[in-house]
Structure 1
Amino acid sequence: MDQLEFRLLERVHAPSVVPEQWVKFAKSYREAVRVAWTLRRMKAAKPSDMARDMGFYAQHISDWLAEDDRKMRRSLPATEIPDFESWVGNTLVSQWLAFRAKLTVLEQITATQQTA
């Protein structure tokens, strides 16, 4: 009898944290966005689905996910990161930003508490 794996430590109603290997894999902000998209929960989803559900412009999403990093390409705006992460189901972009800032988990928590 086959058993299905039940992931007990995964966040149910929030984006999941991705393994550190993926955070280190992304060498740029735009690449972090593309990797987050690749790791999305709904594998069959298309950029047009996200545009419809989140109210983003499809052309903007195409730029965010474009493999070439030409200067004319738009990048995911910082104000849209929470909605993007919610839709793709992971926090890779936020994790990448924290990693690049060289913040430890404790520093992130302390900074959050000080601004609250």
Structure 2
Amino acid sequence: MRKKYKHYSEEEKLNLLREYEESGLSVYKFVQRCGVSNRSLFLRWLHQYETEENSVSLPAEPSENDMANRSKDDYRQEIKAQKKRIRELEKALSFSKLETKARDMMIDKAEVYFDIQIRKKSGAR
């Protein structure tokens, strides 16, 4: 029994490639999710469109006309999302600082306990 393969039009290929670029998924997971017949076919499309300079591009930056047509709610939502992202990054930074401080304390204790120099001296070559 032969498998029946689906033939994709150029438009379908480009749409799938655009979705792949926007999804951020691995090729394997994207192929599974979208139901493309196999991964090597999809990789061939990627290679083909990159070499032909018809590569899929990300959405363009908003132009001045697009920005003028945005509502205040859109701006508020964007600002809210950016503030949330800033809070997340500040939290990650503070956690990183705590990790660094704990690591330094552990090295200090190990140097005292084992009576050896762990950190390099600043003038060492």
Which of the five TM-score ranges fits, normalised by the shorter chain? Answer: under 0.3
Say which one has the larger Rg. Answer: 2
TM-score (norm 2): 0.23
Greater relative CO (CA pairs within 8 A, separation 6+):
1
- Richer in helix (by share): 2
TM-score (norm 1): 0.24
